[in-house]
Structure 1
Amino acid sequence: MYYNINLTPPAMTHWTTTAMTHRIALLICGVLYTTCAFGETRTATPVSDITVQPGFKVELLRSAQDGESSWISMSFDNKGNIILGLDDVGVGHLDISTEGDEIPFKRINNSFKHCRGVLYAHESIYVSATNSQGFYRLQDTTGDGTFDKEELLLPLEYKSRFGHGMNQITLGPDNQIYLICGNDVVMPAEIAKTSTYRNAQKDWLLPNPHDAGHDDRVGYILRMDPEGKSFHVIAGGLRNQVDLAFNADKEMFTFDADMEWDVGQPWYRPTRINHIVPGGEYGWRWGTGKWPTYYPDSLPSTLDLGLGSPTGLVSGHTLDWPKRFQQGMYAADWQNGRILLVDLIPVGASYGGEYELFLEGAPLNICDMEVGADGNLYFITGGRGSQSGLYRVTVDPSTEPTSIGPKIHRTSVFIGKHERNRRQLYDSYQERVGSTSDLEAWPVLGRDDRWLRFSAMKAVERQPFEYWQDKVLDDDNPLRCGTGLIALCRVGVPEHQPHVFYALQRFDLTKLPLKQQLIMLRAYQLCFIRLGKPSDKQTEFAIAAISPLFPSKHESINHMAGELLVYLKMPGIVESSIPLLNEVSTQYQQLRIARMLMHVQEGWTDNSKAAFLNWLLRSRAMIGGHQLRERLTNIRADFYEILTDDDKSAHAELIEKIDQPIESGDLTTNRPFVQQWKMGDLIKDISVFSS
């Protein structure tokens, strides 16, 4: 059954007993299929182990053989053949135009290491060679089909933490080259200064000391001309986006990775489809410092997809398939062995989304996808030394498609097109400096549409602040003024600090709606982070302005206002925060408040210390990803530093319970026990698939 999930799915998928049994069986059988003695024919996952939506069929065109490496990226050349990026060393070529049963394979390069991206364009092969730490161009200068000229276009320093290096390469509708870089690739400083994504910082009001020791690298998207003479960072604040695609409206999208170790924690970000705009800031930072979606100086995801390992992404508008299947995007998930059909729904100047399962197999470690000259979808499997295969998905006239897709009213399409055109105009201003006419973007800072407001803010930032600083400081519209103050904090100088602070003080935060409160709170944060610490008098005024908001029924307000009040050392902040650690609060809020309180060294009473120790005891039952235990251990260690020796003696029995090793039985869960699975339980299912 194909499912259609609107917006945010659950973080984890719960399988039925039968489905889980068969999935494990398929995984085991997949290993058996791809394991063979040296010299024997190797076979990728057979199509019998792949399920695709009605109306389509899958063909396995070729399996990688010994000596052909594992295939991790692909591109079609000008003859309709396939260029392959190889997992270990080199670039391969598959001549799919050759008649006969076997598709010939050859290596056309034997030096580039770990080629995560290849692109044939402008009579060249562009190669993203992560372990060679460079972006290269291959050219055939003699016309004999041999790519004899090798040129390093851009060295890119790769400092591996999790293997998030240079990834796929895409040809844009502007005929420019787009390179996707994960968060282990250092952003070249000389490029970033002139880019639309510029002046990015961590912008943490209360840095977590346990996140120290890591630099401020983030994933980003690089644009360059075909000759590799000019480079431009389009957007950043991503984690490990592997591919990008342009839809029929020439809008750019990427598929970004999550950090599954963060599951169950407020800084967890699911795998996501991101709409990429010039200057876009998407908020990924190291450790616990990932920006929440409600920071107004960042952009939210278009569609969250839960757990997975994003790889290939293609737009369906170039497919020669029924119209319904041309409307969406196809997103490959390496971990779960599936391709998702993502429908983009116009919402203001951007999009929302829905998705449904299009294809899945076990194992089916899809690395990349492309639309062929025949209008069909091709994909390759491989990665991490695993067995590779080349597959093609075509229309099956013997079955009728059942997918309908979302109904989008023509009015929404028309309005969306109009609003995106406006946003694109403001996007273009980011590459024009010094024209006062560009300040026509100023009124848009007060628009409700977040994407319009963000692009207008970036356009304003790009102009010399002398043109617009008086406008923002005198503006009485809270939405427009707050957004403008964020821009001034980002590009201003320390001399602006008292003026920004005075402008913020003109607004009564308690009388503003939630969205405007969040904008003003972020402006306060950036005023202190970027322009300078508050004076004693400013501290007094800021506490008076912000404290009426805390605590709140909104977790976002508790997070932002709470951090500000801790930073300002408001008396009584501990007592005001402790009630937010009760069982009624979500696990996310409890972890944020607990982490926040570790920055408070004074003002703890005997009661608040006892309450926090009891929270530490309860937190042992929290469930989440691999790093949850580490985060809780850090909070516990930090709190013990706050306690005096007398405190530790008074609460010795409770501390002893907190410090006990956690046994599996200590963790509570609302999932019912089904069965203690053993390998023998699966034998009968395995025999079905192997017979």
Structure 2
Amino acid sequence: MRRLGSWFVLLCFASLACAETPTWIWNSKNAANNETIYARKEIELAGPVKQATLYATADNHVTVTFNGKPVIQHDEWNNWGKADVTKLISDKTALIAVAAKNDDGAAALLVKLEVTYKDGKSATFVSDGSWSVAAKSAPGWDKAGFAADWQKATVIGKLGIQPWGNVGVATVAAAPGEATPVENIKSLDGFKVERLYSVPIGQEGSWVSMTPDPQGRLICCDQYGGLFRVTPGKDAETTKIEKLDVPIGDAQGLLCAYDALYVTVNGGAAQGSGLYKVTDTNGDDQYDKVELLKKFDGGGEHGPHAVRLGPDGRLYVIAGNHTNIPKESEVGAPHKNWAEDLLLPRNPDGNGHATGRMAPAGWIASTDKDGKEWQLLCAGFRNPYDIAFNADGELFTYDADMEWDTGTPWYRPTRVNHAVSAGEFGWRYGTGKWPDYYVDSVGAVVDIGLGSPTGIEMGLGAKFPAKYQSALYINDWTYGVIYAVHMQPQGASYTATFEKFITGRPLPVTDICVNPKDGALYFTIGGRRTQSGLYRVTYDGSESTAPIAMTESQEGKEARALRRELEKLHTTNPTGALGQIWPNLASNDRAIRYAARVALEGQALADWKDKALAEANTNATIQALTALCRVGAKTDQAAVLAKLNALPYDRMSEEQILDALRVYQLAYIRLGGKQNDAADEAVIATINPLFPAQSEKLNRELFNLLVYLEAPGIVDRGMQQLFAGQTQQEQMFYAFVLRNAEKGWTMDQRKAYFSWMNLAQSKYRGGNSFQKFVMQIRNDAAEKLAKADLAELKEIMEGGQTEEVAKLETTRQFVHNWQVDDLIGMLPEVEAGRNFEKGQAAFEAAQCAKCHRYAGQGGGTGPDLTGVGNRFAPLYVLEAMIVPSKVVSDQYVNTIFQTDTGDILVGRIISETDDEYQIRTGPFAKELTVVKKDEVEGMKHSPLSEMPTGLLNTLTQEEILDLIAYLRSGGNPNDEAFSKK
């Protein structure tokens, strides 16, 4: 789990100061990363001082002066900095001046001055709303008598209250707190939340894991302490808590199964990190035996986490990327043959996080009930905390993002993953994270957004309405949210939507479980030694809570069954396996193709290599060549490249082209690198005409390859793409890749390139590592410069000039994967008080004008939006932008074509003759694609809109509301929506 760091989280807290309890304060105008708060307070003392001690901390760097003298410089946000300031008091005045900086959010600080007077009396002075604060310093701000008009501080929470928790427990005792009251917690209509227990932090710690036992009691564990057993009562008064007298704790995974308690220790308890079996040997209902089943090499916040019982009777354990896989778990396992598989050099995290942590990274492994035989199921995660099985017997997890990467092209939001056999999820340290669409990886079921995943749970067994019995509940510790994720089968895998199920201020949710005895959902809050509590969620609405069938659903069942049959071949090699595998390489279902390709890699290469190189079906060719790159030899490279060059790129879908481009990469990564020969020239001749493409995904993979191969003119075209980038991520991608190009630069291009660095460092924003990533790009590019070029560029590189790229000022970056439920309650606000200019800017930022005409301007591939306000309510407009495939007009429906060679084309039929169709394969396509009718084996209407999803994900909530108002105004700035409220 992570420290809260984003500025908008801080706005959620408004606790009042107590007399002697320091409160977190901040400057409410701070709203970005890497900013500083300056704060001061002049205190009149009551008399001569015998002893004065100053404590201070901040999120996350603090410098303090006392009466003009530096006394504290401190970087540990979760503990006090301390100074004896007795000798600095010469009269009755105490001036405290503090500068606090946060690396990944707006800064906040906490200060306490304890004074003992010579007459024996004492006093305590604390940071509170009377302090003066500013976002910028001024001459004399840390001196007595400073008279600038600074604002009063905003109070965001007491010591011992979130967001930062019980700071300084070792040196300054905090009054016992209470867990968040239910009045501060919101749930969906019909659901009731009860607080059953406020955990006394000094005695029972902060609870982070939980499981029901066979009697319906809950076993809970303190993150840094022991086990507790909870017997839920009708209310808090009748709920019983007992501490278990057993020598184990520090658990981040608990499971009652096989008449035992399985414990995943992440810390120093017992024999350290590992999986343990705890039993009651004498039948007195008390655990008394602790047995280590498997020692784990790793720990900390990215250490070993949850343990679950699978439908196959095996135990499944998940761990973060700072934990090595269990010894011998890769032998005969589904997941194998991993590597970093990066075509171009990466940069490490600018702050050094996880540098050197190599594949397989975070993992899921299974074992028998005695913990003797282990198998690595899948890997490539960052730091998922928990796992859960649905009624179909499928396994899911909720993986963490790296918030320090926000604003960069390699940032990946938190996401729900389907943990299939041999799944590779592509986490690599630094800038090396794989995109979702790589052919050799498994994509996300759904992206969530910024957050910090903790416990997850399926609603199976809960006395909830059917929709919520089948939901997956995922905890976000950072933002205090429990999401309900609603999954729909998509072939042999799933897609999903999500909604906020429970929110609170504060609500650092840690674990969650359904108690099969009472059908209630329980969750805990706490972690990082913060105030902990136990809560129960029940349903008291009007919908039926009849149990749903606990059996596999019919939707997608046949596809899942086929995928599972192929997955059996990941660890076995029966006679005839190749005949079962090969037809499924051509499947239109990505999950089935993936399972078949992994199975193929386990077959004898001599049995299928020639078949791969002779294959005519496009999908099967790509999958077979992927396998050949992963298990073949350097001598296979030329044949692989030639086969890739022969693919019909003008007739392939975007997905197929992306897959093929990744196979090109693998051919160079795994089969010997570029040779600078005719084979490389043939690759350039094949893919060069495809760049730039209509798709940013295609552009990225094409550009990676063309820079790697040093294609002629690629620097010029890359600089054009950099200048055309509509978000800072797009621009940064081209700057990042171009740092590898040594040839083909003009001096004007060099000047523009390094001017972009200056622009990014002065104007763009992102996570804690953003500026350091920009500096790394600059340094890498500068290392390739001749001395003469360095001299000519010195003024730009040292002077911070941005004139060359002044028009590129944009700070568009991922905000949230917006769902309709996030915004539906705000729709009344589009009727008045909106901003026309901001709505217009949001229209451009969401790229609406590329396809739609509005007020006489824009593209023509989509419907004219000028009359939207006269026809549709705000909810329809919102749904059309977030869920474009919900309703697709007959005029704009796409057709899916399957050809006799296995090509899959999707596009809108623009014209038709007796012999052929002319289709537009995308809203930005520059040319039409011809499909011969005698080559078409099948065609059907696509249920998906041509409009991409996620176009609003770089907009804030307010910008989306302004955009809806703008669309409904017909372009009229005098519309009522823009009147003052």
Normalised by the shorter chain, which TM-score bucket? 0.7 to 0.9
Secondary structure class of the residue paired with 1:110? coil
Structure 1 segment 31-110 matched on structure 2, within 5 A:
42-65=177-200, 66-96=202-232, 101-110=238-247
Q: 1:447 pairs with 555, 570, 587, which one?
A: 587
1:435·1:463 contact (CA, 8 Å) conserved in 2? Answer: no
- 1:175 is displaced (CA, Å) by 1.8
Letter in 1 for 2:208: I
C-alpha root-mean-square deviation of aligned residues, in Å? Answer: 3.1
Aligned counterparts of 1:434 and 1:492: Cα–Cα separation in 2: 22
Letter in 2 for 1:391: Y
Structure 1 unaligned blocks of 5 or more: 1-11, 404-412, 661-665, 675-691
Equivalence for 1:169: 307
Write out per-residue CA displacement over residues 413-455 of structure 1, whole angstroms, 9 at most, x where no aligned residue.
7552222222222222212224323532212211222112111
Q: How many residues are matched?
A: 641
Write out per-residue CA displacement over residues 454-488 of structure 1, whole angstroms, 9 at most, x where no aligned residue.
11112222222233222211101122101110011
Write out per-residue CA displacement over residues 353-372 of structure 1, whole angstroms, 9 at most, x where no aligned residue.
11111111111111101111
Write out per-residue CA displacement over residues 126-177 of structure 1, whole angstroms, 9 at most, x where no aligned residue.
11111222221112222223333222111111165xx211111111122211
For residues 329 and 215 of structure 1, do their structure 2 counterparts lie closer, same or farther at Cα, with a shift above 3 Å needed? Answer: closer
Write out per-residue CA displacement over residues 30-60 of structure 1, whole angstroms, 9 at most, x where no aligned residue.
9569989979765211111111122121111
Aligned counterparts of 1:271 and 1:32: Cα–Cα separation in 2: 26
For residues 507 and 53 of structure 1, do their structure 2 counterparts lie closer, same or farther at Cα, with a shift above 3 Å needed? Answer: closer
Letter in 2 for 1:637: N
Letter in 2 for 1:109: V
Structure 1 segment 448-527 matched on structure 2, within 5 A:
448-527=588-667
Equivalence for 1:6: none
Letter in 2 for 1:491: V
Aligned counterparts of 2:238 and 2:660: Cα–Cα separation in 1: 66
Aligned counterparts of 1:564 and 1:658: Cα–Cα separation in 2: 31
1:135·1:153 contact (CA, 8 Å) conserved in 2? Answer: yes
Q: Does structure 1 residue 652 correspond to structure 2 residue 794?
A: yes
1:339·1:359 contact (CA, 8 Å) conserved in 2? Answer: yes
Q: Does structure 1 residue 571 correspond to structure 2 residue 715?
A: no
Structure 1 segment 258-269 matched on structure 2, within 5 A:
258-269=401-412
Identity of aligned residues (%): 37
Aligned counterparts of 1:575 and 1:231: Cα–Cα separation in 2: 52
Equivalence for 1:529: 669
Q: 1:179 pairs with 309, 317, 328, which one?
A: 317
2:210·2:513 contact (CA, 8 Å) conserved in 1? Answer: yes
Q: Does structure 1 residue 590 correspond to structure 2 residue 698?
A: no
2:266·2:274 contact (CA, 8 Å) conserved in 1? Answer: yes
Larger radius of gyration: 2
TM-score of the aligned structures, taking structure 2 as reference length: 0.62
Letter in 2 for 1:646: A
**Higher RCO structure, 1 or 2 (CA under 8 Å, sep 6+):** 1
For residues 613 and 669 of structure 1, do their structure 2 counterparts lie closer, same or farther at Cα, with a shift above 3 Å needed? Answer: closer
Secondary structure class of the residue paired with 2:240? coil
Aligned counterparts of 1:402 and 1:82: Cα–Cα separation in 2: 27
Letter in 1 for 2:479: N
Q: Which has the higher helix share?
A: 1
1:115·1:130 contact (CA, 8 Å) conserved in 2? Answer: yes
- 1:291 is displaced (CA, Å) by 0.3
1:182·1:239 contact (CA, 8 Å) conserved in 2? Answer: yes
- 1:382 is displaced (CA, Å) by 1.3
Secondary structure class of the residue paired with 2:556? helix
Q: Does structure 1 residue 389 correspond to structure 2 residue 533?
A: yes
TM-score of the aligned structures, taking structure 1 as reference length: 0.86
Q: 2:263 pairs with 127, 132, 136, which one?
A: 127
Secondary structure class of the residue paired with 1:119? strand
Secondary structure class of the residue paired with 2:743? coil
- 1:395 is displaced (CA, Å) by 1.7
Aligned counterparts of 2:290 and 2:578: Cα–Cα separation in 1: 43
Q: 1:191 pairs with 329, 343, 363, which one?
A: 329
Q: 2:425 pairs with 266, 273, 282, which one?
A: 282
Aligned counterparts of 2:727 and 2:371: Cα–Cα separation in 1: 50
- 1:189 is displaced (CA, Å) by 5.3
Aligned counterparts of 2:221 and 2:161: Cα–Cα separation in 1: 26
Q: Does structure 1 residue 356 correspond to structure 2 residue 499?
A: yes
1:339·1:358 contact (CA, 8 Å) conserved in 2? Answer: yes
Equivalence for 1:28: 157
Letter in 2 for 1:122: Y
For residues 639 and 223 of structure 1, do their structure 2 counterparts lie closer, same or farther at Cα, with a shift above 3 Å needed? Answer: same
For residues 154 and 73 of structure 1, do their structure 2 counterparts lie closer, same or farther at Cα, with a shift above 3 Å needed? Answer: same
Q: Does structure 1 residue 619 correspond to structure 2 residue 619?
A: no
Secondary structure class of the residue paired with 1:197? coil
Write out per-residue CA displacement over residues 234-288 of structure 1, whole angstroms, 9 at most, x where no aligned residue.
1111111111111111111111111111111111111111111111111111110
Aligned counterparts of 1:461 and 1:356: Cα–Cα separation in 2: 39
2:233·2:239 contact (CA, 8 Å) conserved in 1? Answer: no
Structure 1 segment 620-639 matched on structure 2, within 5 A:
620=761, 621-639=763-781
Letter in 1 for 2:338: A
With 344-353 and 254-263 compared, the bigger mean Cα shift is at: 344-353
With 594-603 and 383-392 compared, the bigger mean Cα shift is at: 594-603
Equivalence for 1:641: 783
Letter in 1 for 2:510: C
For residues 495 and 142 of structure 1, do their structure 2 counterparts lie closer, same or farther at Cα, with a shift above 3 Å needed? Answer: farther
Aligned counterparts of 2:256 and 2:639: Cα–Cα separation in 1: 53
1:92·1:109 contact (CA, 8 Å) conserved in 2? Answer: no
- 1:597 is displaced (CA, Å) by 1.4
- 1:507 is displaced (CA, Å) by 2.4
Displaced runs of 4 or more, over 6 A: 12-15, 33-41, 97-100, 670-674
Aligned counterparts of 1:420 and 1:505: Cα–Cα separation in 2: 33
For residues 215 and 38 of structure 1, do their structure 2 counterparts lie closer, same or farther at Cα, with a shift above 3 Å needed? Answer: closer
Letter in 2 for 1:208: R
Aligned counterparts of 1:71 and 1:383: Cα–Cα separation in 2: 6
Letter in 2 for 1:485: L
Letter in 1 for 2:792: A
Letter in 1 for 2:157: I
